[in-house]
Amino acid sequence: MIFVTNNPHKLQEVGAMLGGKMALKSLRDIGCTDDIPETANTLEGNALMKARYIHERYGGDCFADDTGLEVAALDGRPGVYSARYAGPGHDSEANMQKLLAEMEGKSDRRAQFRTVIALIKEGREYLFEGIVTGHIMEEREEGEGFGYDPIFCPDGYEHSFARLGDEVKNRISHRARAVEKLVEFLKTHNS
Ligand code: IMP
């Protein structure tokens, strides 16, 4: 199964969740260095766009994910634009700084990470969604992870995803929940 990603953190996270039940190949593993377009304006659209791109060129089964951080007080922003919130590129530092600045003085700090996985299996398309609710912290907390992890605190915890660490994050995260649904589906639809 091809996982349409170049992000080693994600490959590691999802691989750990699958617990060795399925061998995953990354874009690097299949020798794809293309800059795959992600120009849709929804997470669903982007996940499908990436999965279709690889399926059309490489064949076989594959899945792609797209994630956004949706902040209530910002009408769901940065959402589908989370990776390039502070401008082109994938600069997590700049993205977090922009978000913290926009949240200054806001009492409603509710936010959620939402992941959509698009699977193409035997030519058919399926979508799976995972959500984790929480809030944007006033100050960053360093640790593991990537992206907005240092400023997102999931509900039921008092620390950021970064500080909680991969072990906790991999159990409760948006991606974990979407991957759980994917794995459940694959278990019952394995040919
Ligand atoms: P992607 O669609 O998974 O590439 O995610 C888009 C952007 O959302 C990333 O560039 C990160 O800024 C952010 N993001 C996605 N997943 C996570 C996560 O698990 N923790 C923190 N930030 C994330």
Token pair belonging to 29: 């593993």
Is the pLDDT at 183 greater than 90, yes or no? no
What is the set of active-site residues? 66
Model pLDDT, residue 84: 92
Express each pLDDT in 91-120 by its tens digit.
999 999 999 999 999 999 999 999 999 999
Atom of ligand 1 nearest to the CA of 174: 19
82 touches 66 (CB < 8 A): no
Per residue in 13-28, pLDDT tens?
A: 788 777 777 888 999 9
Q: Which residue's CA is minimally distant from atom 16 of ligand 1?
A: 67
- Is the CB of residue 82 below 6 angstroms from any atom belonging to ligand 1? yes
Which residue has the CA at smallest separation from atom 14 of ligand 1?
147
Distance between alpha carbon 49 and the CA centroid of its chain, in Å? 15
Model confidence over 19-65: pLDDT tens digits?
777 888 999 999 999 999 999 999 999 999 999 999 999 999 999 99
**pLDDT confidence of 9, banded at 50, 70, 90?**
confident
Whether the bond between 78 and the residue before it is cis, its omega within 30 degrees of 0, is yes
Q: Are strands 78-79 and 110-121 parallel, antiparallel or unpaired?
A: unpaired
- What letter would DSSP give residue 25? B
% the chain with pLDDT above 90: 80
The 3-state DSSP class for residue 151 equals: helix
In short, whether 67's Cβ falls inside 6 Å of ligand 1 is yes
Mean pLDDT of the chain: 93
- 157 C-alpha vs ligand 1 centroid, how far in Å? 20
Distance 179 CA to ligand 1 centre (A): 15
